[in-house]
Structure 1
């Protein structure tokens, strides 16, 4: 009888380990069909940890590098728009626990009482640096750059450079003329920021900020490199 009980315990332990492994595998290697949307030429590097991938929407030409974690509530969405890149080991959270009198953290984390939840939106052409964390309800504007290891707790405007914990704006990607030129190359006219919108952005956020991007014309060698990358991804 003892031998039979031991065998039963071994089988039970194996089944628990197998279930844990399958749960890890499903989250770490989600199928493309399980996402809310995956656009054309979008790249996902595995392993990654994505909760509720049916609530994750990836547009065309998005890159998700290895080790990303999306800690996603059931009813909140994560939207990453075209041309954006999420560098390795980043974390995106769509809900956070709020301390509640009489409820210990052990219970709070699983009961989700008084959670603060919200969609996360990453607009077009955004770079999120390695090991950064984006919290619930945050929107990151078009063309923004988030420095490595940043903690993003509030919205970031278009074309900002934000670094630190919590993330603060320390620069702007291009001049107004540089942004106009950049957007002419990337977007149809109806999607481009207007001069009035740019004037408002610069007056509100960037009047004393340094330009960190490069606005020089591309050299022939640089053009060849860009063409090679486009060929790899079957882009025009």
Structure 2
């Protein structure tokens, strides 16, 4: 896992341009009638590499959409929050319920202006319950389920159900 740091006091024109693009597209998406060709086109503009058969129900907030990869047949309910400077990869056949937060960046404990970034990987066939939060550096293994309102602070193996804050394994799946 690659961790890196961003100092926002040092201007990065490309990152700033992507932040503006992402923020403005999210605003337009969030103010367009959902499930219409116009809204779908805006979502595809925000995520040009989104896999076939995937859909997102607005509203959503994404700070750097070019750092988010969405696989095929992914279902994302409303109020998705992606802080994506560290990178977010969502595998095929994933379900994200309402109010899910994917936070691939945070702040340094001592110099809080510094943004610390670690990637999030959600492997295929994962279901993330409503209100769950996935923190930086987490990988959610294939076929796993994250319970509603869970806070996932560590990587989750394949074929398990986790729940709680912090999330813990509560069941193994066959």
Aligned counterpart in structure 2 of residue 42 of structure 1, from 50, 54, 62: 54
Tell which structure's C-alpha radius of gyration is larger: 1
Counterpart CA distance in 1 for 2:135 and 2:119 is 9
More strand by share: 2
The structure 2 residue matched to 1:98, chosen from 101, 105, 108, is 108
Alignment partners' CA distance in 1, 2:133 and 2:118? 15
What does 1:14-29 align with in structure 2 at a 5 Å threshold? 26-28=25-27, 29=29
Q: How far is the alpha carbon of 1:31 from its aligned partner?
A: 3.2
- The aligned counterpart of 1:18 is none
Aligned twin of 1:64 = 76
Q: Which runs of 5+ in 2 are unaligned?
A: 1-20, 30-41
TM-score normalised over the length of structure 1: 0.56
Structure 1 or 2: larger helix share?
A: 1
Which runs of structure 1 show a deviation greater than 3 angstroms over 4 or more consecutive aligned residues? 22-25
Contact 2:22 2:62 (8 Å CA) reproduced: no
Deviation, 1:36, is 5.5
Instruction: Kindly indicate whether structure 1 or structure 2 has the higher relative contact order, using CA contacts under 8 Å at least 6 residues apart.
Output: 2
TM-score where L is the length of structure 2: 0.75
Q: Is the 8 A contact 1:36 1:56 kept in 2?
A: no
Tell me which residue corresponds to 2:163. 163
